[in-house]
Amino acid sequence: MPTSLTPIAAQGPKVSRFIAGYWRVNQWNKTPQELLRFASECLELGISTVDHAMVYRSEATFGKALALDPGLRSQLQIVTKFGIKPMGFGELGAQAVNHYDSSGAALIQSLDASLQGLGTDYIDILLVHRPDYLMDVRELAATMATLRAEGKVRYFGVSNFNTHQFEVLQRELRQNVPAGLVTNQIEFSPLHLTPLEDGTLEQCQLNDCRPMLWSCLGGGNLLAPASERHQRIHNALRVVADEHAVAALETIVYAWVRALPCAPLPLLGTSNIERVKTALAAEKIQLTREQWYRIWEASTGHPVP
């Protein structure tokens, strides 16, 4: 199956409709050869965009796999993130407390480490991992513009930003980088509905960019319920799955999040290629409005007003 790319923003790059997340890659216990095979199988299924972060310590692991097939890099869109500095993070020096650092110097240092780990000379989309309360947007935007001019980063975005944090950086960045921020990677699932109410999704539409969604399966709690609320949602998903003659509940979850008008791009966190196929099956599922709101009602515990 050829890779089918879709624009992430009006002036942004094209990415795959689902994104392969490598947050837990070091827990997968795959050899570089096995990891290369997995990435290649994802590519055959149409998933060419991969998600990393400095704090995941995933880049060097993935870079070893890429080194086995240098031609694969040009077929991928690499997303990575910077800005989180946990205590004792060796690559960036031992820190006394966990903290954020979005300074220009931290960006350059983190980017250089990411490029080295991945074995590449550019990043397709670099995200600010979390909002830094001490963020100097002028300094950050200026550094971003410089890195783009140098060809080290092609596009920028953010992760876990609220609407005001997004807008203040967007306004500054667009003065020198017309494409601005091309995405906001946020948590969203039937268990985490906050973006439906806080304006984050509508803001993406206003800025002609599409959000990336992490933890769509609610950390696995939708598939293995651990509370009354989890079970309620699980049961609603089963009803909808039966109506579509679908065995896997996760297919319905991905169909549910993809129904949003902001056309989000879900991240997958699995290392199992069969589960990747199960997620992709959501592209063939179109929920009715009643089915979508049935799942919403199960999550909130009450009907719409």
- Active-site residues, by number, are 56
CA–CA separation, 233 and 94 (whole Å): 42
CA nearest neighbour of 187 among 175, 173, 198: 198
Rounded Cα gap, residues 160 and 157, in angstroms: 10
Q: Is the separation of the CB atoms in 17 and 46 below 8 Å?
A: yes
Partners of 50 in beta bridges? 20, 78
Alpha helix (H) ranges present in the chain?
A: 32-44, 59-66, 104-118, 137-149, 163-173, 194-197, 200-206, 228-243, 249-258, 273-280, 289-300
Task: Give Cβ neighbours of residue 265 (< 8 Å, ≥ 6 apart).
Answer: 8, 15, 16, 17, 18, 19, 49, 183, 210, 211, 212, 213
- Positive/negative CA dihedral, 188, 15, 244, 44: negative
Please give the full DSSP string across 95-109, using - where no structure is assigned.
Answer: -SS-EE--SHHHHHH
- Is the separation of the CB atoms in 125 and 157 below 8 Å? yes
Rounded to whole angstroms, what are the CA distances from 127 to 4, 80, 82, 244? Answer: 23, 6, 7, 37
Contact 178, 144 (CB under 8 A): no
Query: Per the structure block, which two tokens stand in for 73?
Result: 């890099």
CA 124 to chain centre: 13
In this structure, the number of other CB atoms found within 10 A of the CB of residue 69 comes to: 14
